[in-house]
Structure 1
Amino acid sequence: MNWCSNQERCGGCYYQEIPYEEELKIKEEEIRSLFAPLVMGDFPFEGIISSPKKEAYRNKMEFSFGDQEKDGPLCLGLHQKRSFFNILNTEDCRLPHPDMGKILLATREYFLDKGVGYFHKKKHEGYLRHLLIRRGEKTGEILVSLVHNLFAEKSFSEQDILQSLAVKNVRQESEENCVIETGGEAESIQDKKTFISEEALLKGWCESLLSLEKEGKLEGHFAGILHTKNESLADAVVNQGTEILYGKDYFYEELLGLNFKITPFSFFQTNSLGAEKLYEKIREYADLSNTAVEKPLIFDLYSGTGTITQLMSEVAKEAYGVEIIEEAVESAKENAKENGIENCRFIAGDVLKVLEQNKAAMNQSGDIAEGNSADKEENGNILPRPDFIVVDPPRDGMHKKALELIIRYGVNRLIYVACKPKSLARDLEPLQAAGYRVKRLCAVDMFPRTNNVEAVCLLEKQL
């Protein structure tokens, strides 16, 4: 029995036919082989923590519109393995919750019926680009956004229309209505098909999704249905303006007793139950109850929606989260307020630039110079000196200069969370050269059935 209909064709899953226990052993050995030659002194590797769910664990998916073969029918799903252009229909993908597959199928069928074309990467024409779906594991709330190009007549794929309607003649009736007449050679082909305005098109799509919930076909429920404009040439989900079609532009998820408001484009771990395992390990590694500073001041760099910042706030004097995505920072502030946490501060800005501003404000001893009070953080991003640092950078790791500035603080202990272990392996060289040693290291399987895994590393400075 195949794992899914696209087994061997889709590049998403790497482990499909072996038991999960064997997959964990392979991943554990890969982490061991990566770090053992690099770690100075004893190798304190603690193995790998399994994911609570092996499938249907992803709470976020970005699907692409396209076709599987040139001039083929509209497809919506994931890229074919080793192909930049071909898109596979993946409504039976087993990594996200089945609700996402139903939304995927309903969306494809709706736009296929309307004859709406996808955005061609070479021609830079067409309307449909991506479908972003997020779903709360604990709450069941669903947020969907259709990412599209500018609306125009050419948004309706001529090739799709020729294939599905046997078009012989097209005549313009009005600025918003275009009627297509067919030759009527086949009974299954409609005699007419009408182009509608973008407003009506999106309204119809929204209604088609809401009907899934009304008919009881979904386990979850819609928090919001949105549409996002994207005129960029890059083949990526870019937000150039998002509007609400239904509900609201956020949903909630619950982790370790705290509630988190999540917006369409803010960072949040894609495996909610796995994230709880990850954050429990971070708190265990921090073990701030035994530090010399009774209530340390904590930096959470690359903080996203402030998950780690808030989880660390219980043992901190103050916890500062720094994140470049302003939307995520605003959500983090609201999350802290809703959770009744008053000792968290969230800074919107690039980590490197924020740290550079702090470097300029420091005196020779490494403290904030007089006249550069931490009260200015809302405007000047000037932060007090930290006692403990947590970094959770993007996949490619930290900028070399940002790492140098972190080392400059000279904190006794820091935690590095790596969604790409090779980035941590690269950054270990300057950290160890600066006197830090790996005290604890483990892997957390946040991405079952793929060849990705996260690593958590506790480093202590040699005195």
Structure 2
Amino acid sequence: MKLEKGQIVEIKIEKIVYGGEGLGYYNGEFAMFVPMSVPGDILKVEIISLKKSYGRALIKEIITPGAERIKDLNHVTFEDFQGCDFGMLDYTAQLKYKKEMVEDVIRRIGKNSEVLIEDTLESPIEKNYRNKVIEPFSFNGQEIITGFFKRKSHDVFQVEDNMLNSVLGNKIITELKNVLNKNKVTVYDEKKHSGILRHVMVRTNSFNEAMLVLIINDTKVSEKIKSILKEVMDKFKEITSTYISLNDRKTNVALGHKNLLIFGEKTIKEDIDNIHFNISPTSFFQINLDQTKRLYSLAISMFENIENKKIVDAYAGTGTIGMILSKKAKKVYSIEIVESAVKDGIQTAKENNIENVQFICGDVNKELGKLIKAEKVDSIILDPPRKGIDEESLINISKVGIEEIVYISCNPSTFARDIEILEREGYKLVRVKPVDMFPQTSHIEVVGRLVKK
């Protein structure tokens, strides 16, 4: 039987593949990828695309649920789960499949069949863990809404209560929408490049404080917008900082080129390991604080005899992990190419009386070589962006002869690719631990330890 787009067929899901989709075989041979499906599911699915050797389909009906599916069978779509592509799985199963996805890329891309992949480190909080959210505005014909983009679309769907956002963050966004609707503010139309409201960002901390950032399509701040923010701020004593971000460009980037403090403090603070960090609208800070503490503790525990070591924190950002490392290590060299991030790190170190971290602004490729010539360095910690590290940089890191590498990655695929290069250049991967920073999603962090052969 020839398959066609739009056709509804029955299929059993065999497994979850890297990226989080379920995989089944129509008539036992034609591969079909189905988002939001669970191994063991028997489903009626609608085919949405067909290639020569595989297709993609969406769930129309759950005939028999897989054992690891949550009990609520009314939720079957990406939108039902608020964009959380693992929301249909019970949490124990999420951890299992994340370990399997890491194992898959280590074996397939990293070409390593020997190293043991440890069980995934579970998050202490499964929902409402995000200390930062950015939601786009839209107008549904009746009212201003915020929410998520539908899959492969710029159409916004709204949810009553964002399951990942902090409870305080949800309350603030709900009240902001009430005030905006009352004042009939226009919503940005990206096709016409007109209208005011683009996005809202809320950052919260462990002290129950919040920063509210309203991102608008304008070159200046009107008194009307100021009064709206004042009204919201007056209803929440927890809001200690309020910004307007001016973004009048045709872009998908949320924050604008100017972030103007309107009311309150310039930053909110957060604590990790008794180090106080200042967080501004543009600061990078991990979104799951409780799990971040466990991630950094795990990474630091992978260094042997850390008290006697001089360690390089490469791709350091604002130097967060380097400053935490400095509490145990003899000396830390924090290398980062973004000047503003280095300045933030220096200020944080000064405020916390941290004296054994040396901040270096520059390219890791160049600065590491200079440093090695001047100082004896024992170990290095790598925490690059999602794209990983380019091959030339990895070869240069290998050449300097550092005995021990700890690598933190938010992208197991690029981690595996980089590990394969490092092993080729004389290192051995001896430990891999997946860390669940993002429950309810298929995203997974991973920490590895390598030693010189």
Residues 15, 414 of structure 1: alpha-carbon distance in 2 compared, 3 angstrom cutoff:
same
Distance 2:227 2:439 in 1: 36
Aligned length: 381
Distance 2:73 2:168 in 1: 18
**Aligned match for 1:53, one of 119, 125, 131:** 125
Residues 279, 410 of structure 1: alpha-carbon distance in 2 compared, 3 angstrom cutoff:
same
Q: Deviations for 1:392-443, whole angstroms, at most 9, x for unmatched residues?
A: 1111212333333322322111111011111101112211110111111100
Q: Looking at both structures, which has the greater relative contact order when contacts are Cα pairs under 8 Å and sequence separation is at least 6?
A: 1
Residue 212 (structure 2) aligns with = 144
Residues 282, 2 of structure 1: alpha-carbon distance in 2 compared, 3 angstrom cutoff:
same
Residues 125, 348 of structure 1: alpha-carbon distance in 2 compared, 3 angstrom cutoff:
farther
Residue 281 (structure 1) aligns with = 298
**Aligned match for 2:373, one of 361, 367, 370:** 367
Residue 235 (structure 2) aligns with = 212
- Letter in structure 2 aligned against 1:123: K
Whether the 8 Å CA contact 1:64–1:77 is kept in 2: the answer is: yes
Q: Describe how 1:101-120 pairs up with structure 2 within 5 A.
A: 101-120=170-189
Whether the 8 Å CA contact 2:106–2:112 is kept in 1: the answer is: no
Residues 63, 3 of structure 1: alpha-carbon distance in 2 compared, 3 angstrom cutoff:
farther
Whether the 8 Å CA contact 2:82–2:162 is kept in 1: the answer is: no
**Aligned match for 2:430, one of 439, 442, 449:** 439
**Aligned match for 2:240, one of 220, 223, 231:** 223
Distance 1:250 1:24 in 2: 35
Query: What residue ranges of structure 2 are gaps of 5+ in the alignment?
Result: 1-70
Distance 1:3 1:318 in 2: 54
| TM-score, normalised via structure 1 length | 0.76
Q: Describe how 1:193-212 pairs up with structure 2 within 5 A.
A: 198-212=221-235
> Identity, % of aligned pairs?
29
Q: Describe how 1:117-136 pairs up with structure 2 within 5 A.
A: 117-136=186-205
Residues 325, 59 of structure 1: alpha-carbon distance in 2 compared, 3 angstrom cutoff:
farther
Larger-gyration structure (1/2): 1
Return the offset for 1:247: 0.9
Q: Describe how 1:19-168 pairs up with structure 2 within 5 A.
A: 19-37=90-108, 38=110, 40=112, 42-67=114-139, 73-83=143-153, 85-136=154-205, 138-150=206-218
Return the offset for 1:210: 1.7
Return the offset for 1:325: 4.2
Q: Describe how 1:246-257 pairs up with structure 2 within 5 A.
A: 246-257=263-274
Distance 2:304 2:156 in 1: 47
Q: Give yes or no for the alignment of 1:356 onto 2:356.
A: no
Distance 1:54 1:332 in 2: 30
Residues 283, 297 of structure 1: alpha-carbon distance in 2 compared, 3 angstrom cutoff:
same
SS in structure 1 opposite 2:87? coil
Distance 2:296 2:88 in 1: 30
Residues 266, 3 of structure 1: alpha-carbon distance in 2 compared, 3 angstrom cutoff:
farther
**Aligned match for 1:241, one of 258, 261, 264:** 258
Distance 1:91 1:41 in 2: 45
Residues 234, 322 of structure 1: alpha-carbon distance in 2 compared, 3 angstrom cutoff:
farther
Whether the 8 Å CA contact 1:11–1:81 is kept in 2: the answer is: no
- Letter in structure 2 aligned against 1:404: I
Return the offset for 1:323: 3.1
Residues 58, 201 of structure 1: alpha-carbon distance in 2 compared, 3 angstrom cutoff:
same
Q: Describe how 1:169-208 pairs up with structure 2 within 5 A.
A: 198-208=221-231
Distance 2:281 2:315 in 1: 18
Whether the 8 Å CA contact 2:336–2:364 is kept in 1: the answer is: no
Return the offset for 1:150: 1.4
Return the offset for 1:6: 10
Q: Describe how 1:301-380 pairs up with structure 2 within 5 A.
A: 301-349=314-362, 353-356=363-366, 359=369, 361=370, 367-368=373-374
**Aligned match for 1:268, one of 273, 280, 285:** 285
- Letter in structure 2 aligned against 1:147: I
- Letter in structure 2 aligned against 1:282: A
**Structure 1, 267-276 or 8-17: larger mean CA deviation:** 8-17
SS in structure 2 opposite 1:329? helix
Which is richer in strand?
Answer: 2
Residue 78 (structure 2) aligns with = 8
Distance 1:108 1:54 in 2: 26
Whether the 8 Å CA contact 2:383–2:407 is kept in 1: the answer is: yes
Distance 1:324 1:72 in 2: 47
Residue 185 (structure 1) aligns with = none
Return the offset for 1:52: 0.5
SS in structure 1 opposite 2:118? strand
Q: Deviations for 1:292-322, whole angstroms, at most 9, x for unmatched residues?
A: xx73322112223322101111333321223
Residues 325, 146 of structure 1: alpha-carbon distance in 2 compared, 3 angstrom cutoff:
farther
Distance 1:311 1:4 in 2: 45
Residue 392 (structure 1) aligns with = 383
Distance 2:254 2:288 in 1: 20
Residues 151, 397 of structure 1: alpha-carbon distance in 2 compared, 3 angstrom cutoff:
same
Query: What residue ranges of structure 1 are gaps of 5+ in the alignment?
Result: 153-197, 215-220, 369-383
SS in structure 1 opposite 2:438? coil
SS in structure 2 opposite 1:36? helix
SS in structure 2 opposite 1:314? coil
Residues 75, 36 of structure 1: alpha-carbon distance in 2 compared, 3 angstrom cutoff:
same
Q: RMSD of aligned C-alpha atoms? A: 2.6
Q: Deviations for 1:357-387, whole angstroms, at most 9, x for unmatched residues?
A: 555x58xxx624xxxxxxxxxxxxxxx5632
Whether the 8 Å CA contact 2:412–2:444 is kept in 1: the answer is: yes
